[in-house]
């Protein structure tokens, strides 16, 4: 059985890392701030992976973002999935060359499935994470692209099946309404959809403590839980959360999180 994972997501925008709540961004600090105040070397044993997303709303630059990834990997010795603004094979290649182990795709999944297939053919499905940003709409679910600004004409269930047919490696399922709240994942939606596809899910949006991680990892098709909440998990929050999950019998890699 594959081990489940804890993922930390960093939201990047125009040279700074951000705190997001319902996709409204608030500046936290640049890379120097991140290295000074959030020492990834000290919490490396608490995490299985980093996801770094470029949410720049204007003047999105894949080259600037790639430089940030290259600087980040100098201090982070865990796998990194990076995305935001990938529109060409060259964009993806630049992120891989800058140190990303996987790429995260969003808008291009809907706008250019031929490119997605080419990326999978070249790098393998295990290197491709499909990101979905969604909101509830009465009894349905709307899917958004372009940093949560454009609603597409496919509902969530249809889109999940569409991505499964593309054979992406994992799906990063992010609730825009739960984003940054710290009140817990959108468990009703996860329970409704996780068994309908075989592609593993990374769930995101709403994590605020280890009990949310624990509840999310109980689902068979949830391969990982993600949080982007810098403030809830700063300090020893993540080491404590991982230790508690391991002690509860959760199928996580078991190393010494006290290091």
Contacts of 140 (CB under 8 A, 6+ apart): 155, 156
Tell me what pLDDT residue 258 has: 52
Give the C-alpha separation, 161 to 182, whole Å: 29
- Is residue 178 within 8 Å of residue 185, measured between CB atoms? yes
This prediction has a pTM of: 0.94
Contacting residues for 239 by C-beta, under 8 A, at least 6 apart: 43, 45, 46, 257, 258
Confidence at residue 236, expressed as pLDDT on a 0 to 100 scale: 75
Q: According to the model, what pLDDT value does residue 123 have?
A: 98
| Per-residue pLDDT, 224 | 97
What are the start-end ranges of the E strands in 1-119? 5-13, 16-21, 24-29, 49-54, 80-83, 102-105
Place of tokens 């890392």: 17
* Cβ 133 vs Cβ 174: under 8 Å: yes
Count CB-CB contacts under 10 A for residue 165: 11
> Is the torsion defined by CA of 74, 75, 78, 82 positive or negative?
negative
Strand partners of residue 144? 133, 151
Q: Among all residues, which ones are annotated catalytic? A: 133
pLDDT at residue number 33? 83
Question: What confidence score (pLDDT) does residue 241 get?
Answer: 87
Q: What backbone phi and psi angles, to 5 degrees, belong to 72?
A: -65, -40
CA distances from 51 to 109, 118, 157, 246, 257 (A): 18, 22, 24, 22, 20
Q: Select the CATH number that applies to the domain covering 5-100+170-247 from these four: 3.40.50.920, 1.10.3720.10, 3.40.109.10, 3.20.20.70.
A: 3.20.20.70
How do the pLDDT tens digits run along the chain, 259 residues long?
589 999 999 999 999 988 889 989 888 888 888 777 766 666 677 889 999 999 998 888 999 999 999 998 887 788 999 999 999 999 999 999 999 999 999 999 999 999 999 999 999 999 999 999 999 998 899 999 999 999 999 999 999 999 999 999 999 999 999 999 999 999 999 999 999 999 999 999 999 888 999 999 999 999 999 998 765 666 677 888 888 999 999 999 987 655 5
* pLDDT for the residue 139: 87
Q: Who contacts 9 (Cβ-Cβ below 8 Å, separation ≥6)?
A: 50, 51, 52, 53, 204, 226, 227, 228
Amino acid 29: pLDDT? 87
CA dihedral 167, 168, 173, 174 (to 10 degrees): -140
């Amino acid at each position: 059985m594959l081990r489940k994972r804890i993922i930390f997501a960093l939201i990047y925008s125009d040279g700074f890392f951000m705190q997001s709540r319902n996709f409204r961004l608030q500046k936290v600090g640049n890379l120097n701030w991140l290295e000074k105040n959030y020492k990834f070397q000290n919490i490396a044993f608490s995490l299985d992976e980093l996801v770094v997303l470029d949410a720049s709303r204007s003047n999105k630059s894949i080259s600037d973002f790639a430089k940030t990834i290259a600087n980040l990997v100098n201090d982070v010795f865990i796998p990194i999935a990076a995305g935001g603004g990938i529109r060409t094979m060259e964009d993806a290649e630049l992120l891989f060359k800058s140190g990303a182990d996987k790429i995260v795709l969003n808008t291009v999944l809907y706008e250019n499935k031929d490119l997605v297939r080419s990326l999978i053919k070249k790098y393998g499905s295990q290197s491709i994470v499909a990101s979905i940003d969604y909101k509830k709409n009465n009894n349905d679910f709307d899917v958004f692209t372009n940093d949560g600004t454009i609603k597409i004409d496919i509902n969530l269930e249809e889109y999940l099946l569409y991505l499964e047919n593309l054979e992406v490696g994992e799906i990063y399922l992010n609730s825009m309404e739960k984003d940054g709240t710290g009140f817990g994942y959108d468990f009703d939606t996860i329970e409704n959809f996780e068994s309908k596809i075989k592609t593993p899910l990374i769930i995101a949006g709403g994590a605020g403590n280890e009990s949310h991680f624990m509840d999310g990892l109980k689902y068979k098709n949830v391969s990982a839980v993600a949080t982007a909440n810098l403030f809830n998990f700063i300090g020893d929050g993540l080491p404590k959360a991982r230790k508690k999950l391991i002690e509860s019998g959760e199928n996580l890699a078991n190393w010494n999180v006290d290091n």
